Structure 1
Amino acid sequence: MLKFLYPKIKWDNIKAVGFDLDGTLYEELEFILQVYKPISRLLAETCLADNKEVYSWMIKRWLEKGSSYHHIFEEVLASYGIKDDPQQQTIAECLEVFREFDPKLCLAERVRILLDIFSEQFELFLITDGSPHLQKAKFRALGLERWFKNKNVGISGAYGKCYEKPATLITQKINLLCSGLHPQDVVFFGDRDVDREFSINAGYQFVKVKLLYAGETSK
Structure 2
Amino acid sequence: MPAKDYAATRYSGLAQITAANAARLRPVWSFSTGVLGGHEGQPLVVGSTMYVVTPFPNVLYAFDLTREGYPLKWKYRPDVNPTALGLACCDAINRGAVYADGKIIYNLLDGHTVAVDAVTGGEVWKTQIADMNQGETTPMAPFVAGNRVIVGPSGGEFGIYGWVKGLDLRTGKILWTAHNMGPDSLMLARPGRGHYTADANIGVSTWQGDSWRRGGAPVWGW
Classify the TM-score, shorter chain.
under 0.3
Greater share of strand residues, 1 or 2? 2
Query: TM-score by structure 2 length?
Result: 0.25
User: Relative contact order: is structure 1 or structure 2 higher (C-alpha 8 Å, sep ≥ 6)?
Assistant: 1
